[in-house]
Amino acid sequence: GESVGLHLPTLSVQEGDNSIINCAYSNSASDYFIWYKQESGKGPQFIIDIRSNMDKRQGQRVTVLLNKTVKHLSLQIAATQPGDSAVYFCAELVPAGTALIFGKGTTLSVSS
């Protein structure tokens, strides 16, 4: 089932802009979160993860922010490129759970 919501289904940006994709989760017991990128007809591709004992984690061009107070997760993509166009999903894992539960996804469209 789905336990995340409050998202923009689509986000359109210009090449070079910074993109921010949001996700809200409902289970306060979730202790691990991952952002995935999915291109058409392909499986999810890992982007970045964060544990609940952190509030920020940075990767290459991407940053994930976690606000446990309001149960909010965001993915920031710096200098967005056309190749970043895809659907982005957040996923969460509760401590006792074994499978990742996915949110509804946001379609990012990057125009040149």
Residue ranges in contact with another protein by CB under 8 A: 1-2, 32, 36, 41-46, 89, 93, 98-105
**What order do you get walking across the sheet with 62-67 strand by strand?**
4-5, 19-25, 72-77, 62-67, 56-58
Kindly tell me which of 42 and 60 has the beta carbon lying closer to another protein: 42
Least gap, CB of 86 to another protein (angstroms): 13
Cα distances from 27 to residues 2, 5, 21, 83, in angstroms, run 10, 11, 19, 32
> Smallest gap, in angstroms, from Cβ of residue 103 to another protein?
6
Nearer to another protein, 8 or 79 (CB): 8
